Amino acid sequence: MSDAVDHLIEINDLYYSRGALQIFTGLNLRIRRRQVTAIMGPSGTGKTTLLRLITRQLIPDRGTILIDGIDIATLNQKELYSLRRRFGMLFQNGALLTDLSVFENVAFPLREHTNLPNRLIRHVVLTKLHAVGLRGAADMMPGQLSGGMARRVALARAMVMDPDILIYDEPFVGLDPISMGVIVRLVRKMNDALGVSSILVSHDVQEIAAVADCSYLLSDGKVAASGSPDELRNASSELVKQFMHGMADGPVAFHFDAPDYAEQLLGRDAD
């Protein structure tokens, strides 16, 4: 298999800034087919922004993003939407449609894009809800769900069109250990059984280690390190060590830029 085909997503020399803030400065990243790729990094390094760039919810200032070798910047809206049908995305807070029930939320993509008979839609939706353990909640409204349940419903919705590429934005935040384990296994199973490629943004080093084939650690707008979870854990770089082991001291400052603490408490910073 040639190199170009093997890479599902290729990001070359990506620049992106929001206002004066430079978020990406020459980012290069490859995502391989049928693997779980994790994107990690301290808060504020633009992990979610990267997902939005990959799905063209945002447009980069410079550089290209190729999906299956096609530059997504060149797509018109129709082509973009047919590309997006191959994606399933799980948003940080679920992003369920609040005026529809759980069942209708999961059925939403089917109703919008297919003419399947109701019986079949019901069958598919219940199957997906069962996979995330929420078949019993089908008639509830999103407002009645806890955060973790909403995330699981959103996961069922992301899977309902049987996408090629599943994108998870912080899937493990706010889940109890039981649902966390189930979701981790589900991510892996989707990947292995259905041949889906997964992109996963997360800080949860433990869970990433359990599920990812390959991880990228972002810092300062570039890829700071990449490799399998074991390789990252044993990396010698200070930054990688600090992140993987959760240490307060290291190249990444815990404190946001601020004037000297003692000076400020004494009120001398104003002078």
Partner 1 sequence: MLRELYFSFVDFLRTFGALQLFFLRLLANSPAILVRRFGLVVQQVYNAGALSLVIIMICGFFVGGVLGLQGYANLAKFNAEDSVGTFAAFSLLKELGPVITALLFSGRAGTALASEIGLMKATEQLSAMEMMAVDPLRRILVPRFLGGVISMPLLTAIFSVIGLFGAHLVAVDLLGVDPGAFWQQMRSSLEIGDVWEGIIKSMVFGVVASLLAVWEGYNAIPTAEGVGRATTRTVVITAIAVLILDFMITAIAI
Whichever of 95 and 214 has its CB closer to partner 1, that residue is 95
Whichever of 117 and 246 has its CB closer to partner 1, that residue is 117
Angle in degrees, 0-180, between the axes of helices 147-159 and 118-131, rounded to the nearest 10 = 130
Q: How far is the CB of 30 from partner 1 (least distance, A)?
A: 22
- Residues with Cβ within 8 Å of 9's Cβ and at least 6 positions away in sequence, in order, are 29, 30, 31, 54, 65, 66, 67, 199
Whichever of 62 and 113 has its CB closer to partner 1, that residue is 113
Q: How far is the CB of 230 from partner 1 (least distance, A)?
A: 32
Q: How far is the CB of 156 from partner 1 (least distance, A)?
A: 13
Helix (H/G/I), strand (E/B), else coil: 263: helix
Q: How far is the CB of 250 from partner 1 (least distance, A)?
A: 32
DSSP-assigned letters across all residues of 53-78: HHTTSS--SEEEEEETTEEGGG--HH
Q: How far is the CB of 77 from partner 1 (least distance, A)?
A: 8
Whichever of 91 and 172 has its CB closer to partner 1, that residue is 91
Q: In what order do the strands lie in the sheet with 70-71?
A: 21-32, 7-18, 62-67, 70-71
Q: How far is the CB of 95 from partner 1 (least distance, A)?
A: 4
Closest to 54 in 3D by CA, of 87, 26, 93:
87
Whichever of 83 and 187 has its CB closer to partner 1, that residue is 83
Whichever of 77 and 118 has its CB closer to partner 1, that residue is 77
Hey, CA dihedral for 263, 264, 268, 271, is it positive or negative?
A: positive
Residue 65 carries which side chain, given as an amino acid letter? I
- Residues with Cβ within 8 Å of 106's Cβ and at least 6 positions away in sequence, in order, are 125, 128, 129, 153, 156, 157, 160
Chain residues that interact with partner 1, rule: CB under 8 A:
55, 57, 77, 81-82, 84-85, 87, 89, 91-93, 95-98, 108-109, 112-113, 154, 157, 161
